[in-house]
């Protein structure tokens, strides 16, 4: 059969169409098969290394560290980004974003024409989908890579909503240096969150991803502004802004102002990061922190050189740490790296309120009970008061206010160390398993080490009327309350130590009505290595520690002198100050009073000086310390002459031989002889 030319042509066309159909079918089949066999790696969208970031209560960064890829990323939801930023990005990067299916055919045709006319690649027609897929795989730029990106972009468009894709892009795109995402760029370049960007600032940031190195504004501001004008023109052409808005944005001065508040409160931030490696919103309030820092630095300058200082402020109701200072200068390469709020130190008398609370809780004592401040000896240990003076009989309230050591030791002995340790642990002060053995009765006067944070939280328990809650550093942490002490006991102890009963150091001349209400207790460790002042005002608990991290003591490190004035200033801050009515108290019933110390029934004896002591006379006299095991109703005689001994119990005597005798009201007496020799 002979075919005409037309028939041959028709047949060829038919065969060609058939072949094209087969090829198209095969391509579609391959596409479907590939779609099924090569699903979009959706999990990789959420696995970009994030920058662990610690934020304050209001959302300001306290501390950020780069992710494992050395990039800064602060992912935020789309609704926390400026609307201008979203519009500017779409206008300059993908104007048909909400209309295409992941690949923009119009942009492809336009890019092909531009590339042919220029005889080089000047446009890639990449949509936001395609750019996101390229950042996910980071392949070398090639035709094959472009095809893969297009395929992945189609898949992504099916898996995610448009706003989700836009959010992913804005949190992932490069914005200069090692900044990824608009929040990192906003904070770095303008010191503000992405939601607070102006039109001009948003347009500048939106233009950076095209060439982050060339347009990086902190290095090439002129180039960045030029690119900003291109973005604003595109927004105007797309009908997103008016001509007036475009001109105003272009005329507004662009200043690069990095976030000035970042990297503050580093000790608190690092503490938070240690507790949760991913970071998050903390309870630190930078407004309070700033005021606490100011007073702390001012106070530190009044202390001896090389002194370190730590402060903790806890919101009692929320059980949240609102301020933490770990050292005098966290920029110091040595001591600045130590967080004094977490260091274990000897608390001195700062534990005494809980020793008294243990006795109050057990019904062994109340504020009006009589306690004894007399010389005692326990297992070879002879405790002394800070001023080495004995007060004899006095009320428990007076003994606690005066911070006398002997009554605290006797109370701990009478109540039992097990109960005292139980109360300390119950209110939130961790003790080692062998605390009773290690500390013994000295535990009542600080013979064990604690952390400032834990001790401050124990005082917060008093301010919370006996409900213990562990201090939280992240806003979303849960701290359920546990009853540890009765309300009445906590209020009784707090009122005894309140500013209504005594004046805080530094406020002696302040009118009573101007002194804020707070309770507090100071502490001074043995050797004056640590000075403490801790208290609460039923709204905040504040703890202050002063010392040196190396542990060496100084005469200036006395709690009432080195720490108490700062504590009073902190409680006077408007943000921390409170005013409360007198606490309602029910008298604590004493069911089984503590027994009197056994020394009361001992025969009168002079403890100092010892019989036969010899002293050297310097500058015309020698200072002799006198002490007997009884203090009430005792008369003293020196060489058979009645003498008056003041509260310091010291005698200044010249060279000679002496006989010192004491006689009590029952007729008991004790006598010692000693001599004072010349220095030469």
Active site residues: 93, 349
Give the pairing of strands 656-663 and 635-638: antiparallel
Helix ranges restricted to H, 124-251 = 128-137, 143-159, 162-172, 182-190, 199-206, 212-215, 221-237, 243-251
Give the CA distances from residue 679 to residues 266, 507, 511, 621, 658, in Å, rounded to whole numbers and listed in that order: 58, 46, 52, 10, 17
Q: How far, in Å, CA of 589 to CA of 365, rounded?
A: 8
Which residue matches tokens 């004896």?
A: 605
The torsion angles phi and psi of 215, rounded to 5 degrees, stand at: -105, 5
Give the CA distances from residue 212 to residues 122, 130, 177, 205, 624, in Å, rounded to whole numbers and listed in that order: 17, 18, 7, 10, 81
Q: How far, in Å, CA of 448 to CA of 432, rounded?
A: 9
**Residues across the chain:** 680
Q: How far, in Å, CA of 30 to CA of 147, rounded?
A: 14
Q: How far, in Å, CA of 420 to CA of 525, rounded?
A: 19
The torsion angles phi and psi of 446, rounded to 5 degrees, stand at: 95, 20
Q: How far, in Å, CA of 145 to CA of 166, rounded?
A: 22
DSSP string, 29-40: HHHHHHHHHS--
- Residue 424 tokens, joined: 């300390």
DSSP state of 600: G
Q: How far, in Å, CA of 234 to CA of 236, rounded?
A: 5
3-state secondary structure 488-528: HHHHHHHHHCECCCCCCCCCCCCCHHHCCCCEEEEEECHHH
Q: How far, in Å, CA of 339 to CA of 344, rounded?
A: 10
Which residue matches tokens 């642990």?
A: 425
Q: Is 424 helix (H, G, I), strand (E, B) or coil?
A: helix
Omega of the bond prior to 156 within 30 degrees of 0, cis? no
Q: How far, in Å, CA of 165 to CA of 625, rounded?
A: 84
The sign of the CA dihedral 48, 54, 55, 61 is negative
DSSP string, 241-256: S-HHHHHHHHHSPP--
Q: How far, in Å, CA of 489 to CA of 362, rounded?
A: 10
Kindly compute the dihedral angle of the four CA atoms of residues 336, 339, 341, 343, in this order, to the nearest 10 degrees: -120
Whether residue 424 contacts residue 458, with contact meaning beta carbons closer than 8 Å, is answered with: yes
The torsion angles phi and psi of 647, rounded to 5 degrees, stand at: -65, -20
φ/ψ bin of 404: left (φ > 0), alpha (ψ from -120 to 50), beta (otherwise): beta
């Amino acid at each position: 059969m002979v075919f005409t030319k037309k028939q041959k042509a028709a047949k060829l066309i038919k065969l060609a169409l058939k072949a094209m159909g087969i090829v198209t079918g095969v391509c579609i089949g391959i596409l479907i098969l590939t779609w099924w066999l090569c699903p979009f790696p959706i999990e990789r969208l959420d696995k970009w290394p994030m920058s662990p970031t610690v934020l304050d209560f209001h959302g300001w960064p306290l501390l950020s560290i780069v992710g494992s890829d050395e990039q800064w990323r602060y992912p935020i939801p789309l609704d926390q980004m400026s609307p201008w930023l979203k519009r500017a990005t779409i206008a300059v990067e993908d104007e048909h974003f909400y209309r295409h299916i992941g690949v923009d055919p119009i942009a492809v045709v336009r890019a092909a024409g531009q590339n042919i006319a220029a005889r080089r690649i000047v446009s890639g027609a990449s949509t936001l989908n395609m750019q996101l897929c390229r950042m996910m795989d980071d392949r070398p730029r090639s035709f094959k890579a472009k095809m893969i990106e297009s395929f992945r972009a189609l898949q992504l468009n099916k898996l995610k909503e448009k706003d989700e894709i836009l959010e992913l892009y804005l949190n992932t795109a490069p914005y200069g240096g090692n900044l990824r995402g608009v929040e990192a760029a906003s904070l770095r370049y303008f010191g503000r969150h992405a939601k607070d960007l102006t039109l001009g600032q948003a347009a500048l940031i939106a233009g950076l991803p095209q060439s982050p190195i060339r347009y990086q504004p902190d290095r090439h501001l002129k180039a960045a502004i030029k690119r900003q004008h291109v973005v604003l023109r595109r927004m105007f052409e797309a009908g997103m802004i008016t001509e007036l808005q475009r001109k105003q944005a272009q005329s507004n001065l662009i200043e690069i102002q990095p976030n000035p508040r970042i990297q503050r409160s580093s000790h608190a931030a690092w503490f938070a990061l240690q507790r949760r490696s991913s970071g998050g919103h903390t309870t630190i309030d930078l407004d309070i922190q700033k005021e606490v820092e100011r007073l702390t630095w001012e106070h530190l300058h009044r202390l001896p050189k090389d002194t370190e200082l730590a402060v903790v402020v806890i919101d009692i109701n929320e059980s949240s740490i609102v301020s933490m200072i770990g050292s005098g200068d966290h920029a110091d390469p040595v001591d600045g790296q130590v967080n004094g709020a977490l260091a274990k130190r000897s608390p001195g008398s700062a534990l005494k309120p809980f020793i008294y609370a243990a006795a109050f809780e057990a019904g062994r004592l109340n504020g009006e009970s009589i306690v004894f401040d007399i010389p005692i000896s326990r297992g070879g240990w002879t405790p002394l008061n800070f001023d080495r003076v004995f007060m004899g009989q006095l009320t428990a309230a007076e003994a606690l206010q005066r911070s006398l050591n002997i009554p605290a030791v006797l109370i701990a002995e009478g109540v039992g160390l097990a109960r005292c340790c139980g109360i300390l642990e119950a209110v939130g002060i961790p003790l080692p398993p062998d605390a009773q053995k290690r500390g013994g009765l000295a535990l009542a006067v600080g013979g064990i080490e604690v952390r400032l944070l834990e001790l401050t939280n124990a005082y917060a328990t008093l301010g919370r009327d006996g409900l213990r809650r562990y201090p939280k550093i992240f806003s979303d942490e849960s701290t359920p309350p546990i009853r540890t002490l009765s309300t009445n006991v906590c209020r009784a102890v707090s009122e005894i130590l309140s500013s209504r009963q005594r004046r805080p150091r530094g406020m002696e001349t302040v009118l009573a009505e101007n002194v804020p209400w707070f309770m507090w207790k100071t502490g001074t460790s043995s050797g004056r290595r640590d000075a403490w002042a801790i208290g609460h005002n039923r709204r905040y608990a504040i703890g202050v520690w002063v010392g040196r991290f190396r542990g060496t003591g100084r005469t200036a490190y006395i709690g009432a002198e080195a720490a108490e004035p700062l504590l009073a200033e902190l409680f006077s801050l408007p943000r921390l100050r409170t005013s409360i009515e007198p606490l309602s108290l029910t008298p604590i019933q004493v069911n089984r009073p503590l027994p009197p110390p056994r020394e009361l029934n001992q025969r009168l004896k002079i403890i100092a000086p010892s019989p036969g002591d010899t002293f050297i006379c310097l500058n015309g006299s020698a200072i002799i310390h006198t002490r007997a095991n009884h203090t009430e109703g005792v008369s003293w005689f020196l060489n058979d002459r009645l003498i008056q001994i003041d509260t310091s119990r010291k005698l200044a005597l010249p060279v000679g031989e002496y006989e010192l005798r004491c006689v009590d009201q029952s007729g008991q007496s004790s006598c010692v002889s000693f001599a004072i020799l010349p220095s030469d």
